[in-house]
Amino acid sequence: MKVFKFGGAGVHNVERIQNLAAQLQGNKEEDLIIIISAMGKTTNALEKVAEAFYAGKKEDALQLFDVVKKQHINTAKYLLVTRFNACLSQLMDFFTEVEWLLHDNPIREFDYYYDQIVCCGELLSTCIISQYLNESGIQNNWIDVRDIIRTDDNFRDANIDWDKTKMAVDQLLSASTKQITVTQGFIGATDANESTTLGREGSDYTAAVFANILNAESVTIWKDVEAVMNADPKSFPDALPIRELSFDELIEMAYYGAQVIHPKTIKPLQNKGIPLLVKCFLNPAAEGTIIHKKHSKNLPPIIVIKEQQALLHLESRDYSFVGEKPMAALYEIFSHLKIKPNLIQTGAINVQICLDDRIDKIEKLALAANDIFDVQVEKGLSLLSIRHYNETILTELLKNKEIVLLQKTKDTMQALYR
Ligand code: ASP
Ligand code: MG
């Protein structure tokens, strides 16, 4: 069996959904699980609903939710004929669930409400698409993935309970041969049947979880780009497609901030040696990129730029060396604040830490480190990382840049600049 994943861009309007059905006409006879995200920017819209609700602006929340409702009803209306009423009644059930909650007053933490509200994006999109595929002669089963993906209650970044999820897959999916299952990415549920989400862009990860448990032959992530590129084409018009990558290379790219695939996706596939294909739904015949266990050779320089970086200069207060004790204390703070530094450099009596400029985190970090270090913060920086760099590209990309921190290993160069 195979796993396909379509993200928000792949299903963001009527034409894209029709396109998806046309594309799947060729897969009718296959044993296939299709993981789908919320339509277009629905997740962002639902985040706004959750924020308004939590801020006590009930009317605003309901109004914002109404926009989401209308969009989905309109899409269903355009796409469906015979199955419209059945679909509408499913949609109504999901709407009611959210509206019910919106009429309450928040008494739990924000992240809990976020997940209960935001999860409906995927439920709505998959209902419409599943019905439309059935109407177009592509027989499929719709499954509420919350009956399968079991997680803990770490809302907004829930962790999968693999044993329970495996059991649920065996019970609900094992019988399926030569048939198509349509289900949601990004969402799951706790043992208490509370909805959870796996982190933004988490649908890729859902696809990998199913593939791992079912020993799938491959996972295909259908995107609006032709392939994985060696740089973001918006900033680098000469960016090149990469046809073949190893899991090792992909995980490094994700680590340095390339937004190709959700980083959690890689491990479940690597562990079972399941190849990951990135292909373009606008041109399914195009080659795309294959990511697998094989070592990637002759890679071009891979360029990643992260904007909005902050640099913390920490200097030991009493001129004592920065040894293992202060560093251990620092890492303790990172772990407590869930901070992932992008670059660290230590000197005799100082440490420099580059991290994403998240005001809440930086203030807390500065405060917590204040016991041991004098802390200074510089903001508005950019971090350039180049894998497989060469002198030509370094000269070109570092030209006219005021560099504040530079690190090089054999494979990777990182430069933080103003
Ligand atoms: N709909 C979710 C998001 O926008 C999950 C995903 O697209 O993978 O983050
Ligand atoms: Mg998405």
Question: Which pLDDT band holds residue 353 (cuts at 50, 70, 90)?
Answer: very high
How much distance in Å is there from the Cα of 188 to the middle of ligand 1?
13
Quote the tokens at residue 321: 């060396």
CB 306 within 8 A of CB 339: no
Give the other-Cβ count within 10 Å of 283's Cβ.
10
How much distance in Å is there from the Cα of 366 to the middle of ligand 1?
32
CB 71 within 8 A of CB 89: no
CB 159 within 8 A of CB 149: no
What does the pLDDT look like over 79-128, one tens digit per residue?
999 999 999 999 999 999 999 999 999 999 999 999 999 999 999 999 99
Quote the tokens at residue 43: 């997740």
Long-range own/partner contacts, residues 335-339 (CB < 8 A, 24 or more apart): 336/368, 337/361, 337/364, 337/365, 337/368, 339/365
One-letter amino acid at 268 equals: P
How much distance in Å is there from the Cα of 185 to the middle of ligand 1?
8
What does the pLDDT look like over 127-141, one tens digit per residue?
999 999 999 999 999
**CA-nearest residue, atom 6 of ligand 1:** 201
State yes or no: pLDDT of 342 exceeds 90.
yes
In our burial notation (b when 16+ CB lie closer than 10 A, e otherwise), range 43-77 reads bebbbbbbbbbbeeeeeebbebbeebbebbbebbe
Q: Where are the domains of the chain?
A: 2-224, 302-417
Find the ligand nearest to 35 CA: 1
Q: Which atom of ligand 1 is nearest to the CA of 206?
A: 8
Quote the tokens at residue 258: 């390339």
Percent of the chain clearing pLDDT 70 (strictly above): 99
Least confident of 23-32, 134-143, 376-385: 23-32
Find the ligand nearest to 43 CA: 1
**Among 344, 361, 360, residue whose Cα is nearest residue 352:** 344
User: Which residues contact ligand 1 via a Cβ below 6 A?
Assistant: 7-8, 37-38, 43, 121, 185-186, 200-203
What does the pLDDT look like over 27-43, one tens digit per residue?
988 899 999 999 999 99
How much distance in Å is there from the Cα of 204 to the middle of ligand 2?
9
User: Is 5 buried (19+), middle (13-18) or exposed (0-12) by CB count in 10 A?
Assistant: buried
State yes or no: pLDDT of 182 exceeds 90.
yes
Angle between helices 120-135 and 58-79 (to 10 degrees): 10
Q: Which atom of ligand 1 is nearest to the CA of 8?
A: 7
Alpha-helical regions (H) of 201-275:
203-214, 247-255, 266-272
| Average pLDDT value for residue range 294-308 | 92
State yes or no: pLDDT of 176 exceeds 80.
no
Question: Which pLDDT band holds residue 175 (cuts at 50, 70, 90)?
Answer: low
CATH classification number, 2-224, choose in 2.160.10.10, 1.10.3720.10, 3.40.1160.10, 3.30.420.40 = 3.40.1160.10
**CA-nearest residue, atom 7 of ligand 1:** 201
**Among 164, 133, 171, 159, residue whose Cα is nearest residue 36:** 133
Q: Would you state the torsion angle of the CA atoms of residues 37, 40, 46, 49, taken in this order, to the nearest 10 degrees?
A: -170
Q: Which atom of ligand 1 is nearest to the CA of 200?
A: 9
Q: Which atom of ligand 1 is nearest to the CA of 199?
A: 9
Find the ligand nearest to 205 CA: 1
User: Is 139 buried (19+), middle (13-18) or exposed (0-12) by CB count in 10 A?
Assistant: exposed
What does the pLDDT look like over 242-293, one tens digit per residue?
999 999 999 999 989 888 888 899 999 999 999 999 999 999 999 999 999 9
Instruction: Please spell the DSSP secondary structure of 75-86, one letter per residue.
Output: HHHHH-STTHHH
Kindly give the pairing relationship between strand 241-242 and strand 302-316: unpaired
How much distance in Å is there from the Cα of 200 to the middle of ligand 2?
8
To test the pocket of ligand 1, the residue of 11, 115, 196, 200 to mutate (highest count of ligand atoms within 8 Å of its CB) is 200
Q: How many CA atoms lie within 13 A of 340 on its CB side?
A: 3
The pTM (predicted TM-score) of the whole model is 0.91
**CA-nearest residue, atom 5 of ligand 1:** 201
Q: Which residues contact 29 (CB under 8 A, 6 or more apart)?
A: 178
Find the ligand nearest to 186 CA: 1
Q: Give the CATH number of domain 302-417.
A: 3.30.2130.10
CB 196 within 8 A of CB 113: no
What does the pLDDT look like over 55-66, one tens digit per residue?
999 999 999 999
One-letter amino acid at 395 equals: T
How much distance in Å is there from the Cα of 261 to the middle of ligand 1?
11
The pLDDT value given to residue 231: 95
